[in-house]
Structure 1
Amino acid sequence: MALNYSKEELEVILDKHIATFATRKPDWFAFEDTKIEGFRRAQHRFIGAGASANSDVNAIPAGAFTLSIMYVPPGQGAAAHTHEVEEVFFMLQGHCTFFMENEQGERVEKKLGPWDCIWCPPDVLHGFVNDSVEPCYFQTMLGKGRPKAYVAGQ
């Protein structure tokens, strides 16, 4: 079923739903662990706002998912965590090692590069580290407009 919008109405809808990288503000404090050396990274929000006080008010409001670009300098990453929803990482530039682990700390990991993707099921501990010498960028998407994160050990 096609909806009968005027051209002017379509222009308003289009303008409200575009977010360019140039207008995204990197949030270096989007997650609790980003305050700790080894876990520093910046989130560039496109769809959905985070819990951080630095959330980008220009992000497109979320419906059923969030979408961000993550910048991870060499030697940095994310602590083991899980969500109540699925999370997808799609590598754009550089290389990062992604891991999943159980409650006993047993870990499996894979290094991913440009155009590689990993899907993390709900309630599975996962994280990543940029163990290369160059920064990496990847897209991250979560299956809820405002998901909760659970960090291992908390």
Structure 2
Amino acid sequence: MAIARHPRPPELVGVPLEQIMERYVARFADRVPDWNAFSDANIEGYRRAQHRFVGAGASGKHDDSKVVPAGNFTLSIMLVPPGQGNAPHTHEVEEVFFVLQGRCVVFIEDEDGRRVSKELQPWEMISCPPGVIHGYVNETDEPVYLQVVLGRGRPETAGFVDQALFENRDAHLTRK
């Protein structure tokens, strides 16, 4: 007989294995790319699509029934077309960018605007600490797929460095 060394969370006590498997498996083919997941995603240079797998995220703009419930992290796959990326921002928790396909330039900045960049190739990553300004850009002619992990099941909305983008966050959250 198998012995579970850790208890199930309360919401899974007594739940049949078939239901757990159904709720906790997510397939890429079932993900719908969200080209409006972020308040900066409709701005040239920041266009990208999110395929959310784990965690509802701060926007609440997607169908939570298709997302694997999160405990302490979120996980998404980002499709970043050539010439696109994301706006410099911070989070209250760490954020990881892991390159699955293509090449991508990641960067960190200080409050004076000094930027340090590095190109990442497949199977390379950066872990951005909380409060450190960071982002990425696809400077190639090919699309990039990134795995993105945030260290909280429902993180706060990104803290954009650009004041106009920062002020636009709340309006974006109310749009469907």
TM-score higher than 0.5: yes
CA contact (8 A) 1:29 1:52 kept: no
Q: Output the CA distance in 2 between the equivalents of 1:137 and 1:109.
A: 18
1:153 correspondence with 2:156: no
Q: Matched residue of 1:12: which SS? A: helix
CA distance in 2, matches of 1:71, 1:56: 19
Query: Match for 2:111 among 103, 115, 118?
Result: 103
TM-score normalised according to structure 2 size: 0.81
TM-score (norm 1): 0.93
Separation of aligned partners in 1, 2:76 and 2:114: 29
Separation in structure 1 between the aligned mates of residue 38 and residue 47 of structure 2, nearest angstrom:
9
Q: Secondary structure at the match of 1:29?
A: coil
- Name the counterpart of 1:46: 53
How far does residue 56 in structure 1 lie from its aligned partner after superposition?
3.5
* RMSD across aligned positions (CA): 1.8
> Could you say what secondary structure the match of 1:70 adopts?
strand
More strand by share: 1
Unaligned runs of 5+ in 2: 164-176
Residue type of the alignment partner of 1:123: G
TM-superposed deviation, 1:50 = 3.0
CA contact (8 A) 1:24 1:56 kept: no
Task: Establish whether residue 81 from structure 1 lines up as the match of residue 89 from structure 2.
Answer: yes
Matched, 1:26 2:33: yes
Q: CA deviation at 1:26?
A: 0.6
1:115-147 Cα shifts (integer Å, max 9, x gaps): 001100000000000000100001000000111
**Identical counterparts, % of pairs:** 59
- Distance across 2 between alignment mates of 1:34 and 1:98: 17
Q: Which runs of 4+ in 1 moved over 6 A?
A: none
Partner of 2:172: none
- Asked if 1 retains the 8 angstrom alpha-carbon contact of 2:57 and 2:74, the reply is no
Quick check: 1:27–1:54 contact (8 Å CA) kept in 2?
no
**Partners in 2 of 1:103 and 1:55 — Cα distance?**
33
